[in-house]
Structure 1
Amino acid sequence: MSLKEYAYKMRAYQLKRIDKEHDMHIQAWLYHMAGATKEQGKKQVPVFRKFQDFYNYEEELKKVERPQRSKLFPKWQRMASLAARINSGRGIADG
């Protein structure tokens, strides 16, 4: 293994370690949020009564299966149609 390859492997290891630490901190934050309480009258009640209140699994799946169009989508559509017209030889002025 060359010195350059070793340096790449060390960098990859360090980045992997940072990603793992990031995941651990997210998990700790979520643990804290899951145990959050609010005052209701004189007693403390959980903010999230059900797991689904904390994390809606089905909703997250829907976001992945049917991604929402971004606000820039109409602009992208116009740019794509313009590029198609130019590529077909009609040009911009031909409309």
Structure 2
Amino acid sequence: MRAYQLKRIDKQHEMHMQAWLNHIAGSTKEQGKKQVPVFKRFEDFYNYEEELKKVERPERSKLSPKLQRMASLAAKINLGRGIADG
């Protein structure tokens, strides 16, 4: 039953995301005295090729020194070594 409820919530999330994207895609801006679309082409709204490249060649995110230290500490803790163990 829990799996069904989670699946239903995911479906609702997708529907709300679609409604939001429809709203954004239909956005206009005022240019002079007339309203013009914010996105003139679909590629201005969603760059399919760029999204594919992100998946095929993911960039390594650059962590700040503070985040690197936090990640290192988390890894040590996950491996069963405490912070005091070094």
Unaligned regions of 5+ residues in structure 1, if any? Answer: 1-9, 80-95
Q: Let me know the Cα RMSD of the aligned residues.
A: 1.9
Aligned residue number for residue 5 of structure 1: none
The alignment's TM-score, normalised by the length of structure 2, stands at 0.73
The corresponding residue for 1:71 is 62
Residue 44 (structure 2) pairs with residue 53 (structure 1): yes
Largest Rg, 1 or 2: 1
Superposition TM-score, scaled by structure 1 size: 0.66
Equivalenced residues, count: 68
Deviation at 1:71, TM superposition (A): 1.1
Match of 2:9 in 1: 18
Unaligned runs of 5+ in 2: 73-86
Give the Cα–Cα distance (whole angstroms) in 1 for the partners of residues 50 and 11 of structure 2. Answer: 26
| Equivalent-residue separation in structure 2 for 1:44 and 1:15 (angstroms) | 41
1:30 aligns with one of 21, 43, 68: 21
Q: Identity percentage over the alignment?
A: 82
